[in-house]
Amino acid sequence: MTTDKLAAVPPFEPVVLAESREITEVYCADLLSWAMGRAPEGCCWCTVMGNVNAVAVASLADVAAIVLCDGAALDAEAEAKARQQGVNILRCALPVFEAGLAAARAAGLYGL
């Protein structure tokens, strides 16, 4: 499933839609250098970190999208950077695990 398709599946909502990407995995973490080292390329990264540094990590680690979970806010600077660097950002109110599960189900990953 692509990022723009996932953004249209409730409970997900689009925040920043850049170039659409195929979602190959789901990854959950909040500590930035943990995500930097372990997030697979092309994953949808479920996190509560909505700051400019998370956007930098997403761009450099080449994730398909950030999924901001648990209603976490994206700050204005981060949103501007995401638009500039072409980072997809979705949002949902579910906690990180449930959001990851919902994304995996929607994308038909891990045999779900």
Ligand X SMILES: Nc1ncnc2c1ncn2[C@@H]1O[C@H](COP(=O)(O)OP(=O)(O)OP(=O)(O)O)[C@@H](O)[C@H]1O
CB of 64 to ligand X, least distance (A): 23
> Which among 76, 38, 81 has a CA at the least distance from the CA of 59?
81
Candidate segments 3-11, 20-28, 46-54, 100-108, binder of other proteins by CB under 8 A:
46-54
Candidate segments 6-14, 59-67, 87-95, 104-112, binder of other proteins by CB under 8 A:
59-67
User: Hey, what amino acid is at 92?
Assistant: C
In the list ligand X, other proteins, none, the entry touching 44 (Cβ below 5 to 8 angstroms by class) is none
CB of 57 to ligand X, least distance (A): 10
Q: What SS3 state is found at 71? A: coil
Candidate residues 2, 20, 24, 59; the one interacting with other proteins per rule CB under 8 A: 59
Beta bridge partners of 46: 28, 67
Q: Under 8 Å CB-to-CB from 53, ≥6 apart: which residues? A: 32
Contact residues for ligand X, defined by CB under 6 A: 32-33
